[in-house]
Structure 1
Amino acid sequence: MNGPVPILMYHSVARTPNDATRALSVAPEAFAEQMALLDDRGFTPVDTVRLAAAWRSGAPLPARPVLITFDDGYEGVHRHALPALAKYGFASTLFVSTGWIRGAYDTGGGLDTMLDWDQVRELAGEQVEIGGHSHTHPQLDQIADDALRSELRSCREIIAGELGSLPVSFAYPYGYSSARVRRSVRAAGFAQSLAVGNGLARRRQGPYALQRVTVRRTTGIEEFERLVEGRSIARTFARDRALTKGYAMVRRARQVRRKAIRSRV
């Protein structure tokens, strides 16, 4: 029950993704093959609510639990992923950036064709938990407190208005958070939140920093099997970690520079 759990992070599922989403897009045929492997290997997909609740209460999880999650809200989740999920009766979680969903609140920031709210509602009726992913998808640890609260509040209220229930799970845009961001996510009413990390989720990470592994267009079926089995993850994402550390240094330098500028104003 307390063992590590693979949480898979998907973005777009598309045959012809654009340049902005290509690297993190998965072909529909590849996605279907990955779902078939999960079924064949006896994995039981659960949503984010169920995992977090089990780890809080000590309630048992099913054998070989796995989470299937999607970020942003691309239209291919409805067009291509949903039929594969429905074939096996798999649960999943979709984290939507509400300002990117087509409709009244659209900020025009979506990177490719996005879902509309009718499609989100249909997904919610098919074992897909709908969680929050901010309103406009900023790097939350890089924005001021007022903007952070607005991003979280708008996201949660819009989802509630469209679906009739408040979302309780959240995923950090770009995977970035900080103690301040995690406190704000909790204060906004979200009960758990997912990062990236490219490692297996473990209870000790706490409900607001659960790690996920990235599934990309280049993830072949053998690599996918290693990921869900928890094998060779560190080696698979070694280059990613090096790049992330480098970018983190750049981001910290930017933060220091912005604070210095503000202090002089």
Structure 2
Amino acid sequence: MRIETPKNRGQVSLLSKILLFVFIAMLPLLLSSPKSLTASRGMDRVNGVKILVLNYHKVDNQNISLSVLPKDFDRQMKYLKDNNFHTITMDEMYAALTEGAELPENPVVITFDDGYDDNYKYAYPILKKYGFKGTIFVITSFLDRNQPGYITWGQAQEMESSGVINIESHTVTHSSMTEQTDEQLRYEMAESKRDIEQRLGKTVGFIAYPTGTFNLHIASLVKEAGYKGAFTIKYGNVDRASNLYALERVPIFHTEDTYRSFLERLQYVPVFERLGWIKS
């Protein structure tokens, strides 16, 4: 049994005040419709347009957090389509951030990490169905090299050529970058970039940090390797205040109510930014 003292009574009181503040701050969110909140994402007069970057992994029928069911992914894409979201490419995002290039209303970048074969089987046709574009960050050593469950270079070429999917780097081996030497890091960055460029005949400009781990030194090596930007798993919108080598994303997972979770994540980002809890 816990004995309540004046000290812990004060702690409980402070916690209660914090929870009350959070509830009051979130009340407009709870009472508003998804459409009205997403429409408010809008433009920041200082930092420009807010770009929503969604982060997926698998799109298949496994009952695990990283696997969004195809029917759920389809429903999420339909929501974006019905609510006037427009997918943009990495280069369009980069031009907006660095040159102030104009973007469509409610811009969204759809990304997938690792390069699972279900991205080709399920996500790719669903994106085509809604006229959307996406980016897959691939682990290059896993393509065509005795790693079942990942896309092949042939599938990567097909998707890249279609204009629907953009293939970018997720390094060679998906090893945590904070646990590697500079020599290993340079290899992971340069070799994956070179491999994609040679096999697909394109320029690779972006990388996603494996497991999201990085630091400022690693970011400097990414820039040195010729990348224009790098993505983390930090929660938030991207705008001109973002670090190009630490770009924010909104991760999407399979939950007990995946669609509700998806809507909540879209809604929380602008609310949290207005409250100053994440970068505004």
3-state SS of the aligned residue for 1:200? coil
Q: TM-score, normalised by structure 1?
A: 0.80
CA distance in 2, matches of 1:180, 1:13: 33
- 8 Å CA contact retained: 2:235, 2:248: yes
Measure the CA separation in 1 of the matches of 2:272 and 2:120.
Answer: 29
Task: Say if 2:238 is the partner of 1:196.
Answer: no
* Matching residue's letter, 1:30: D
Q: Among all aligned residue pairs of Structure 1 and Structure 2, give the percentage whose two residues are the same amino acid.
A: 32
8 Å CA contact 2:86–2:104 kept in 1: the answer is: yes
One-letter code aligned to 2:152: D
Q: What residue number does 2:81 align with?
A: 39
Measured in 2, the distance between the counterparts of 1:201 and 1:175 equals 16
2:91 and 2:206 map into 1 onto residues whose CA distance is 7
Asked if residue 6 in structure 1 is aligned to residue 52 in structure 2, the reply is yes
**TM-score after normalising by structure 2:** 0.76
| Alignment check: 8 A CA contact 1:12 1:24 kept | yes
1:124 equivalent to 2:160? Answer: yes
Q: Deviation per CA, 1:3-46, whole angstroms, max 9, x where unpaired?
A: 322210000111136xxxx3211111110010000000000011
Alignment of 1:126-145 (within 5 A): 126=162, 127-145=164-182
2:107 to 50, 65, 69: 65
Aligned with 1:91 (options 115, 133, 156): 133
Return the offset for 1:222: 2.4
Indicate whether 1:150 and 2:187 are aligned. Answer: yes
SS in 1 for 2:142: coil
Counterparts of 1:165 and 1:122, CA distance in 2: 13
1:128: how far off?
Answer: 1.2
Distance 2:272 2:241 in 1: 19
Please tell me the residue identity of whatever aligns with 2:153: W
| Residue in structure 2 matched with residue 257 of structure 1 by the alignment | none
Counterpart amino acid of 1:143? Q
Q: Distance in 1 between matches of 2:75 and 2:272?
A: 20
Q: 1:91 to 1:199 in 2, by over 3 A?
A: same
In 2, Cα distance between the equivalents of 1:49 and 1:26?
27
Q: Deviations over 1:51-75 (max 9, x none)?
A: 1121100111110001100000000
Query: Any gaps of 5 or more consecutive residues in structure 2?
Result: 1-42
CA distance in 1, matches of 2:114, 2:71: 21
2:118 corresponds to which of 59, 76, 89: 76
- In structure 2, C-alpha distance between the alignment counterparts of 1:185 and 1:97, rounded to whole Å: 16
Structure 1 range deviating more: 121-130 or 137-146 = 121-130
Pick from 225, 230, 233 the counterpart of residue 263 of structure 2: 225
Unaligned runs of 5+ in 1: 239-265
What RMSD over aligned residues (CA atoms) do the two structures have, in Å?
2.0
Name the CA distance, whole Å, in 1 between partners of 2:176 and 2:240: 25
* CA deviation vs aligned residue, 1:222-247 (integer Å, no higher than 9, x gap): 2212323435669xxx9xxxxxxxxx
Match for 1:119: what amino acid? Q
Code of the residue aligned with 1:113 in structure 2: it is: G
| 1:174-203 Cα deviation digits (max 9, x unpaired) | 111111111111111111111111222232
CA distance in structure 1 between the aligned counterparts of 2:184 and 2:153, rounded to whole angstroms: 24
- In the alignment, is the contact (CA less than 8 A) between 1:226 and 1:233 conserved in 2? no
